Structure formats: structure tokens, C-alpha cells
Amino acid sequence: MIEIVTYPDPVLKRKAELVENIDGDIQDLIDNMSKLMYQSSGIGLAANQVGVEKRVIIFDINYKEKGKDLTVLINPTIILAEDRIIFEEGCLSVPDFQGKITRKKYIKAQGMDRNGKSIDIEAEGLTAICIQHEIDHLNGTLILDHVSHLKRNMYKRKIAKRMKRSNNGKTKLL
Ligand SMILES: [Zn+2]
């Protein structure tokens, strides 16, 4: 089973690769990502958040009715973006962190669905935010990269302390 990779795992900082073939592995990946996203009460997930460096994102802002509004976008690109919106975002890969982030309010995105059919999506508000957030992931960008140095460094210190603590817990002194 796959699981969500969290900061500071380096896979989150790397650019994911274009999907050339929508094969069985990609279909399994999409199914596993969807399961995991709903289990985690997330509204979006990018493949490199589960350690797979492929350009696949899924999202469903109506996650309460599981699966009804699930969108899969393979090799997504944004072809038009207008106006600004500020929203407090969190991320499954950046636990215990929220930040007010400025995004585009309206976007047009293109990509393929899981059958390889090209799709165009016009989105605004939360859906537009979500698509930009997930495409950011594919490019190795986290919400931490959108906030001030001060806020980012505070979070880095918090995580470093936590990792040190949990390491110490595992160490057996003989
Ligand atoms: Zn995220």
C-alpha cells in the first residue's frame, strides 16, 4: 500500500516526469491515490506525494460524497489564469502547517483523463486553488515555498526538533 510522503522528504522537491503511457501501473496508482485521498480527508493529491514521480493529480472538493466528483488529470498544464484569491491552505505532506497563499482565482487547465482522453477544465475558487496546489507539487513546490522566510524557518525548526525527538526515542543506550 502507498502512503503519504511528508516534508522534508526530497521527493517532494523534485519535478515529476510526464506520463508517456497510461498503463496498468498508472491505473493502479490512480486507484490507490483516490483511496488514500478520501481516507485522509484531503481534497487533492499529486503522485509525488505518494513517492511516485509522475505527472498525475487527482482532486475532489466535494470529498464528503466520495468518488462522485473525482477528477483525474494526467500531465496537467494551466493555459490561462486570471485574478487573485487569497486562501488559507494546508497540505497532507506538510503536517500541522497552514498558510495564507495568493493564487489565481480563475484558471483553465488541460490534461488527460485516466482513459487518455484530453480534457479542458475551467475552474474558479477552491477548485482553481486545488489544481494550482497540486500542479505545484508536480513541480517540486510546496506551500512552504509560498510563505515568508520567517514562517518557513519556524516550521523547519519545528520539524527538525520533532525528528530529533523521535530519533532519540528509538535510540537504545547500552
Ligand atoms: Zn499538498
Gap from CA of 132 to ligand 1 centroid (Å): 10
Pick from 173, 68, 70: nearest CA to 127: 70
Gap from CA of 119 to ligand 1 centroid (Å): 22
The full set of domains in the chain, from first to last, is 10-167 (3.90.45.10)
pLDDT at 164: 85
- Our measurement of the distance from residue 129's CA atom to the centroid of its chain's CA atoms, rounded to an integer in Å, reads 11
CA 118-123-128 angle, to 5 degrees, is 110
pLDDT of 124 above 60: yes
pLDDT at 68: 83
pLDDT of 55 above 90: yes
Instruction: Tell the residue number behind the cell numbers 522528504, with chain if given.
Output: 9
Q: Output phi, psi for 109, to 5 deg.
A: -125, 155
The CB-side HSE value for 111 (13 A sphere, CA atoms) comes to: 23
79-103: average pLDDT: 97
pLDDT at 174: 62
Gap from CA of 143 to ligand 1 centroid (Å): 7
Gap from CA of 130 to ligand 1 centroid (Å): 9
- Over pLDDT 70: what percentage of the chain? 95
To the question of pTM greater than 0.75 for the whole model, the response is yes
What residues does the ion ligand 1 have nearby, CB within 5 Å?
A: 91
Catalytic residues: 134
Pick from 160, 90, 82, 155: nearest CA to 125: 82
Cis peptide before 8 (omega within 30 of 0): yes
In angstroms, the CA 125 to CA 88 distance is: 12
41-63: average pLDDT: 95
pLDDT of 33 above 80: yes
User: Looking only at Cα atoms, what is the longest distance across the chain?
Assistant: 61
